[in-house]
Structure 1
Amino acid sequence: MSCIVSGIATSRAVGEGDVFFDAWMTSWMFSWAAAFPTVLIAAPLVRRIVARLTAAP
């Protein structure tokens, strides 16, 4: 997911030229490094919230 999002954002920022692939891989590395720990922290919290919202009374 972070690969696709960073690819679209990089394409919009630098265009589809010679520097696109290098810029995309660099931006993907940084976005993955931010997204992975965020998911590890947020996922348990979101699961608990959803479980409480969907629990039978």
Structure 2
Amino acid sequence: MTCLIATGIASHPEIESGHFLSHWLCSWTLAWVSMLPFVFVAAPLIQRAVWRLTGSG
């Protein structure tokens, strides 16, 4: 959802040129592809940190 909103705001100047949808879609895809590896690495680390802090698990 964050990528959707951020790329939509970044693509806003393209409305006047008529290329908003293609620019937004390309930007959104690039954002997902670039962030996905970080999410896969960070999620388990954050989960372990929460378990240690809360004593669960």
Give the TM-score band, short-chain normalised. 0.7 to 0.9
Say whether 1:6 aligns with 2:7.
Answer: yes
Tell me what 2:55 maps to: 55
Higher relative contact order (CA 8 A, sep 6+): 1
Ranges in structure 2 where 5+ consecutive residues have no aligned partner: none
How much has 1:7 moved relative to structure 2?
Answer: 1.3
Would you say how many aligned residue pairs link Structure 1 and Structure 2?
Answer: 54
| 1:1-57 alignment runs, 5 A limit | 1=1, 2-11=3-12, 14-17=13-16, 18-55=18-55
TM-score, structure 1 normalization:
0.75
How much has 1:15 moved relative to structure 2?
Answer: 4.7
Counting aligned pairs with the same residue, the percent is 39
TM-score, structure 2 normalization:
0.75
